[in-house]
Amino acid sequence: MPAILPGFASPALHYRPRGGGAGGAESVMSSRDNPLWLQLWRDRRTDFHQKKVNHYLARFWPDLARPQGSRIFVPLCGKSLDMIWLAEQGHHVIGVELSPVAVRAFFRENRLQPSRRQMGDFTLWEHGRIGILCGDYFALDKADLGPIDTVYDRAALTALPEDIRRLYVAHLRRIVPASAGVFLLTIEDAEEGDSLAQALGVDEELAALYSEGFEISLEHVESVFESDPQAPKQPPRRAEYKVYRLSGRAAG
């Protein structure tokens, strides 16, 4: 799975747990481990933030037929407007975000007056159907989240460094029920020489990461030629936008 393209990055961009283990104290992060990400929010260098609801979410989410009242987990959520949209569909949304600047901005920019309370290592900000746990994703446990029906991952996985993705998925499987599904949006920088079959198929790395716990269905692929805003003189490059539906093997 190639690195994520500029413009679609998520708050996962600079997450890097301490140590090599999955879970436990060795992999728990603190703000000291993520100074670049936290500084980007303090400096308002957040061009990666989408200023409207992701159109793949609005287009394909209804196909999941999630009942109103479902609990949706949004890992590494930043100040994504997708959380507003999900709440408007009648769902209860719980996000997790490392940067308090991002969390504060989410509620302020959407003119919401949240309550705040401490929950162990996290500060929980809540308003209506939306709650955001401000703290380290890798410090979450099942008790922090409560029952989760679906995970909404808008490029959190693909924004992570490759060596951290396995830890991210392993931790996700520990903190959500085995029956929970994942609605996963990825964007991949297409490699030169990629065949049509490769472009239209399930990414090999993604299959290796998720196949043990999930049935993987690739719902949509869209090839787009995009310019890098950080290198405008470079020729456009091809990106593959993919929409995945992952069903927990324990479902049903």
Query: In this predicted model, what pLDDT tens digit does every residue of 9-38 receive, in sequence order?
Result: 344 333 444 333 333 323 333 333 467 666
User: Strand, coil or helix: what is 152?
Assistant: strand
Determine the pLDDT at residue 161: 81
Quick check: 4 and 158 in contact, CB under 8 A?
Answer: yes
Strands (E), 120-202: 122-127, 130-134, 150-154, 181-189
Which contacts of 42-46 are long-range, i.e. CB under 8 A and separated by 24 or more positions?
Answer: 42/101, 46/78, 46/102
Sign of the CA dihedral 183, 187, 190, 191? negative
41 is in an annotated binding site: yes
Determine the pLDDT at residue 192: 59
What pTM did the predictor assign? 0.82
Quick check: 131 and 123 in contact, CB under 8 A?
Answer: no
Each of the 252 residues of the chain gets a pLDDT tens digit; together they read: 544 333 333 443 334 443 333 333 233 333 334 676 666 767 676 565 567 899 999 999 999 999 999 999 999 998 999 999 999 999 999 999 989 999 999 999 999 999 999 999 999 999 999 999 999 899 999 999 999 999 999 988 877 888 889 999 999 999 999 999 999 999 877 765 555 556 666 788 899 999 999 999 999 998 887 777 667 788 887 888 899 999 987 655
Supply φ then ψ for residue 72, to 5 degrees.
-110, 125
Class of 25-248 per CATH? Answer: alpha beta
The rounded distance, in Å, linking the Cα atoms of 86 and 245 is 16
Supply φ then ψ for residue 29, to 5 degrees.
-100, 160
Determine the pLDDT at residue 4: 37
User: Strand, coil or helix: what is 97?
Assistant: strand
User: For 236, which DSSP code?
Assistant: P
> How crowded is residue 157: how many other Cβ atoms within 10 Å of its Cβ?
27
Six token digits for residue 227: 């310019």
Quick check: 210 and 169 in contact, CB under 8 A?
Answer: yes
Q: Where are the alpha helices (DSSP H) in 155-224?
A: 156-159, 162-175, 196-200, 204-210
Contacts of 55 by beta carbon, 8 Å cutoff, 6+ apart: none
117 is in an annotated binding site: no
Residue of 59, 92, 94, 66 lying closest to 80 (CA atoms): 94
